[in-house]
Structure 1
Amino acid sequence: MKNYDLYINGKWTVSKEKDFIEVENPATREIIAKVPAASESDVLMAIKGSKESFSKWSETAPLKRLNYVNKMYDYFVQNKDEISKTLSLELGCPLDFAKVRHVEPYLLNIENYLEIATGYSYVETNVDYTIYKEPVGVVACITPWNYPFGQIVKKVIPGLLAGNTILLKPSKRTPLTAYYFAAAAEYANLPSGVFQLLPGRGGEVGNVLAKHPDVDMVTFTGSTSGGKEVGKLALDSVKKLALELGGKSAAVVLPGADLKDSLKKVLDTVYLNVGQTCSAKSRLIAPRSLKKEVEETLIELTKTYKFGNPLEDEVDVGSLQSKAQLEKVSKYIEIGKEEATLLYEGEVPKGNGYYIGPVIFTEVSPKARIAQEEIFGPVLCVIYYDTVEEAVEIANDSIYGLSGMVFGPGEDALKVARQIRTGQIQVNDGVFSQNAPFGGYKQSGLGREGSIYGFEEFLEIKAIFM
């Protein structure tokens, strides 16, 4: 079992409190590592270093900053197999899935950020004034456990490229992947204080970062309740905020859609990663006239997914990430059995891990708890409609607005997609891209990640009149 240190001001540092968090492999419940739980004094030391290094880093030529980050990218490429293995162990997913879904797409995402930064103009000249786009300052990045590589990429990489200094607080559940960012910073000889790694507990690290007056921005990904708490703390000193929060996304199937192809795309979002994806399309909104065909196809397709130990061959779906996750998802399944009709419940895989099988509920009321609340597990709710207008109304009947899908004849599908209030929607064979802006309406968050819009979240706008 490996023990880790903090990475503060360009050095591997032993935490002052010598308090540790055990990291568990959820597929076996084996403790695989220990990371330090950063104390308040550790965090204050890191904030001080970030503030002191900001002036020099922000004034570093953009091309030079880009060269540093490009070296970090080289490190990730050289070590992507090791990163994938570590991620697989701490998240509980199959190794191939870790590599193909959790690591490689985000390497392409880094390439896209590097391309954006290469041609980006930080000065815009107008007739009466000039716009200067400047780094925000010291940025606290608070990242979730379900995408431990990708979510750090979407915060740390554009933040550094834009000239900010970074304080990274990864989830205590999956902190090991974050250590590759510290190793990459060391490999690239990033100046002292530009990147800090502070694993630990939310109340002891995240809250200090959110409240501290020398932190200029907080970018947070996690639950909506967690985002609200962080936001309240950050707004006490009116920090800039970027929040990527929860979702209860809808997939609308219109008459005339390719049913098997459509439902397979929906189930991929609900089952893969064991449903631990904020953009999972966990509400299927389908025509009542196709009820029999929809339900038969869902059961047929569900049986093609193999749930089980991620180390076994041909397993598509591994374990939930923690005991808390298992208890939460199991509770919602019991609630669903009282609120709706259980269409299918897959066998729970054998083993010592936090395993669960796929579950489908049908005849779900749009107002049911399982249709309104984020379950974060492999649970699909099927809601039927009689008119397309009703389908749109159901899709929008949510506090969330993160993602979505619409399937059907092209013009009809696009018309429905335009009416759904959500940050992203895939129509028919539209392919999801990590390089597109990602973020939500309503209580799904503030701001965007990815693309030039995600890059500009880390900049402030200054107008100068001469």
Structure 2
Amino acid sequence: MIKVQSYIQGEWLANGNEIDLISAVTNEPVAQMVEADIDYNEALKYARTVGGPKLREMTIHERAFSIKFLGKYLMERKEKYYEISSHTGATRQDSWIDIEGGIITAFGISSKSRRHLSDLPWHVEGDTERLSRKGSFMGQHICVPRHGVAVHINAFNFPVWGMLEKLAPAIISGMPVIVKPSPVGSYLAWEVFKDMIESEILPEGTIQYIAADKPGDLLDRLISQDMVAFTGSASTGRKLKAHPNIIANNVPFNLEADSLNCSILGKDVTPDMEEFDLFIKEVVREMTVKTGQKCTAIRRTIIPRDMIIEVTNALSERLDKITIGDPANKETRMGPLASTLQRERFDEQFQTLEDGLHVVYSGDSSDGAYTSPKVLLAHQSYDGDDMHHIEAFGPLTTVMAYDTTEEAIDIANMANGALVGSLFTADDEIAHKVAMGCAPYHGRFMVINRNSAEESTGHGSPIASLVHGGPGHAGGGEELGGARAVLHNMQRVALQGSPTTLRNIVNQHIKGAETEESDKHPFQKYFEELKIGEALTTDKRTVTEKDVEEFAELSGDHFYAHTDPEAASRSLFGKIVAHGYFVLSATAGLFVDPDEGPVMLNYGLENLRFVAPVAPGDTIQAKLILKRKNVRQQKKDDPFPFGVVYWDVEVTNQEDVIVAEYTILTLMKRKNKLPIDEK
């Protein structure tokens, strides 16, 4: 039998009060949770003094790579997790969302972080802000690791996904993590966590695990540098968020609460349209996947009043085909709720909602943790608040009728904030009206028609690259969102000073900072040899009329400002000017070194601006300044290791006026392999 133990200060705590953890399928013990006596003050101190410093020594990319490698390690062991997961009541499909979905989410956050964040221990965010007339006083935002602990209190419904979607961005941000999952299903979270420790991929002290029903005095011990992320019921979340110490120390608290999400059938949709079938399929799927135990499930089904019979009949017919049973069986489409206690709570919530509403569908499966899907109908969706505020956390939806599109929007927003809403329509005017009307009350809004349905990820699927959270009842928090997920865990700081001082602080070139001319052409230097602020000032080139004419012929760009003197005289410039892309090409000719060397290729350019015109007779010159560097992982098919180098390019004319500026990316060979490189 699995022994779910706390992992605190680098040790498994094997002694304590043993509590049986019950299988949702057999109603028999499947694991035992050992609830030890934990000194939370010491656990937090260990994370802050051991794990935190080790993470902060690493760059964001190094931390992101550790999450990538951890995800690969866990994915290799997924079948073990699937076997255990069935005891939580999850079918194979349900478990995929939790297990592989959680690992894929960690992969996604890792990838986005390496693509969009600095390869430094901190992130240099956005452009510099000029704060003085001469440019000697500048501002720069950076995001730095907090010197605290990320405490994650997770719900029972997604033991793996819920843990990984919070843990990955926290670790990448540089914060050690203490995980406290719900005891229900915690044996699955514990098995995954145990493998994380055994992998030895993350530095010691960066992750700890609490096996307990309640977090004791953990929240009393937090300081302003710590953070709390909670997923669960709105009532519990509000109680924890209002903890006196959380308020006294202004401890950041991200609350992601269950919400009464809705799906709307557009007024344009008729039963013979593809959008109708897609709508019915999605509502039933969201009712039955994870037995409706999803914070994003469709709790309110909002439909045109003249479609009540068609919709309720279609829902009933489809629900009749759902096979309820042991989730380990391939034919099973819906397993039990997570526990008999959850089933009892679901029954109570259903009975409360049932009062005053019409029961459209209700099976008779109610044994142990098992229940059946249920559909309620509200003819008048404005009557009573329960349907908009009480969430039956299971396979139930309430059908609500509307007469106008404006009324559908009002009904959708009556839940006072939701994680996600969706709309099924073939009319983009309706889509615009509903989406913009619902947007202030939702964290995510999905619009589906026949064109997007095939590749849609679905109403209830949070995506690593998109934000997850919602206003009001949904908690007012925000998670995920690609690289944003990492920045949520960091402290944003506005630095002020001279450009050179700021450059030396953040280790990234700041516009206006002093530069040092390279002792040889920088394209002849390896990645490791290049230094931030290193520069190359090129020779000069005078642009001729022939240059402009030949570029027009070569490119096929015969725009009048470049080729027609009479028309050009009436233009903004008053005369013939060179093509912007000629200036770009001529600049490359000035700074490119033709000889073979460590530079591999031009990887692209960013933020191109043609600031001033260049006319025949003008003389241009370029300055190439090394802005920042990113190490790239050497993969099996790569012939040698390399990195990406970002160069600021400033192109000036004979009056030293900037005519063009941009950032060019080059791939540069590295001399040495690193631990991140695949063998």
Interval containing the TM-score (normalised by the shorter chain): over 0.9
1:56-88 Cα offsets, whole Å, 9 max, x none, are 322322233233323311221111111122222
Q: What is the 5 A alignment of 1:328-343?
A: 328-343=345-360
1:227 to 1:342, Cα distance in 2 relative to 1, 3 A = same
Q: Single out whichever of 309-318 and 282-291 deviates more from structure 2.
A: 309-318
Which has the higher mean CA deviation after the structures are superposed, 210-219 or 302-311?
210-219
Structure 1 residue 300: Cα displacement = 1.0
Task: Give me the whole-angstrom Cα distance separating, in 2, the residues matched to 1:455 and 1:57.
Answer: 14
Matched residue type, 1:123: V
User: In the aligned structure 1, how far is the partner of 2:386 from the partner of 2:36?
Assistant: 37
Task: State the AA in 1 paired with 2:124.
Answer: V
| Whole-Å separation in 1 of the counterparts to 2:350 and 2:247 | 37
Match of 1:270 in 2: 287
Q: Name the structure 1 match of 2:378.
A: 363
Q: Deviations over 1:357-414 (max 9, x none)?
A: 1111113544342342111111110111111111111111113321111111241123
User: d(CA) in 1 for partners of 2:76 and 2:427?
Assistant: 42
List per-residue Cα deviations over 1:403-462 (Å, max 9, x = no partner). Answer: 111111241123202211211121113434522211101121233222222222111101
Name the amino acid aligned to 1:88: S
Quickly say closer, same or farther: Cα 1:111–1:38, change in 2 above 3 A.
same
CA–CA distance in structure 1, aligned partners of residues 427 and 235 of structure 2:
37
**Is contact 1:46-1:193 (8 Å) kept?**
no
User: Is the Cα–Cα contact under 8 Å of residues 35 and 199 in structure 1 kept in the other structure?
Assistant: yes
The residue identity in structure 2 corresponding to 1:456 is: L
- In proportion to residue count, which structure has more strand? 2
Structure-to-structure mapping, 1:19-38, within 5 angstroms: 19-38=17-36
Percent of residue pairs identical: 24
Residue from 479, 482, 489 that aligns with 1:449: 479
Structure 1 residue 115 and structure 2 residue 111: aligned? Answer: yes
Contact 2:467 2:479 in 1 (8 A): yes
> Is the counterpart of residue 325 in structure 1 residue 351 in structure 2?
no
- Once the two structures are superposed, the pairs formed by residues 32-71 of structure 1 within 5 Å of their partners are 32-41=30-39, 43-53=40-50, 54-71=52-69
- State which of 186, 200, 207 in structure 1 corresponds to 2:212: 200
Question: How has the CA–CA distance of structure 1 residues 215 and 130 changed in structure 2, closer, same or farther, with 3 Å as cutoff?
Answer: closer
Contact map agreement 2:41 2:221 (CA 8 A) in 1: no
Q: Distance in 2 between matches of 1:291 and 1:85?
A: 41
CA distance in 2, matches of 1:309, 1:164: 40
Q: In structure 1, what is the Cα distance between the partners aligned to 2:32 and 2:225?
A: 28
- The 10-residue stretch of structure 1 (451-460 or 28-37) with the greater mean CA deviation from structure 2: 451-460
Deviation at 1:22, TM superposition (A): 1.8
Write the letter of the residue equivalent to 1:336: L
Q: Please report how far the alpha carbon of residue 34 of structure 1 lies from its aligned counterpart in structure 2 after TM superposition.
A: 0.9
Query: Hey, what does 1:229 align to over in structure 2?
Result: 239
- 1:67-466 equivalences under 5 Å are 67-89=65-87, 91-94=88-91, 96-119=92-115, 120-121=117-118, 122-124=123-125, 126=128, 127=130, 128-136=138-146, 137-179=148-190, 180-204=192-216, 207-209=217-219, 211-213=221-223, 216-233=226-243, 234-257=246-269, 258-348=275-365, 353-363=368-378, 365-366=381-382, 367-411=384-428, 412-420=430-438, 421-428=441-448, 429=453, 430-432=456-458, 434-435=463-464, 436-450=466-480, 451-466=482-497
CA, structure 1 residues 210+455, in 2 after alignment: closer, same or farther (shift >3 Å)?
A: farther
- Deviation of 1:221 after TM superposition, in Å, equals 0.6
| C-alpha distance in structure 2 between counterparts of 1:403 and 1:329, whole Å | 21
CA distance in 2, matches of 1:232, 1:243: 11
Cα distance 1:287–1:195, how it changes in 2: closer, same or farther (>3 A)?
same
Cα 1:371–1:443 change in 2 (3 A) is: closer
> 1:25 and 1:184, CA in 2 relative to 1: closer, same or farther beyond 3 A?
same
- Moved beyond 6 Å, runs of 4+: none
Contact 2:422 2:446 in 1 (8 A): yes
Q: Which amino acid aligns with 2:166?
A: K
CA contact (8 A) 1:403 1:423 kept: yes
Distance 2:198 2:250 in 1: 32
Q: Deviations over 1:316-352 (max 9, x none)?
A: 1100111221111111222233221111111306x6x
Structure-2 separation of matches of 1:9 and 1:410:
58
1:267·1:302 contact (CA, 8 Å) conserved in 2? yes
Counterpart residue identity of residue 71, structure 1 = F
Given the two structures, how large is their TM-score scaled by the length of structure 2? 0.65
Offset at residue 150 of structure 1 (A): 0.6
Question: Which protein has greater RCO, CA pairs closer than 8 Å, 6+ apart?
Answer: 1
Shift of 1:212: 2.6
Whichever residue aligns with residue 154 of structure 2, its letter is: T
Larger radius of gyration: 2
Q: TM-score, normalised by structure 1?
A: 0.93
Structure 1's 256 and 369: CA in aligned 2 closer, same or farther, altered over 3 A? same
- 2: CA distance between counterparts of 1:99 and 1:251? 24
Shift of 1:210: 5.8
Aligned-pair CA distance for 1:211: 4.7
Distance 1:415 1:280, change over 3 A: same
More displaced, 45-54 or 444-453? 444-453
Instruction: State whether residues 70 and 201 of structure 2, in contact with CA within 8 Å, keep that contact through their aligned partners in structure 1.
Output: no
Contact 1:211 1:237 in 2 (8 A): no
What are structure 2's unaligned runs of at least 5 residues? Answer: 131-137, 270-274, 498-679
**Partner letter of residue 66 of structure 1?**
A
Q: Which one has the bigger helix percentage?
A: 1
Partner deviation per Cα, 1:276-314 (whole Å, 9 max, x = no partner): 111111101111111221121111111121122223331
Q: Distance in 1 between matches of 2:237 and 2:221?
A: 14
Q: CA RMSD in A?
A: 1.9
Q: Which residue identity is paired with 1:193?
A: G
| Distance of aligned partners of 1:67 and 1:390 in 2 relative to their CA distance in 1, 3 Å threshold | closer
Name the residue aligned to 2:2. 2
Q: CA deviation at 1:40?
A: 4.1
Q: In 1, distance between residues paired with 2:35 and 2:468? A: 31
Map of 2:623 onto structure 1: none
Alignment-mate amino acid for residue 112 of structure 2:
I
Amino acid at match of 2:442: T
Quote the Cα distance in structure 2 between the aligned partners of 1:178 and 1:115. Answer: 23
Alpha-carbon distance between aligned partners in 1 of 2:202 and 2:174, rounded to the nearest angstrom = 12
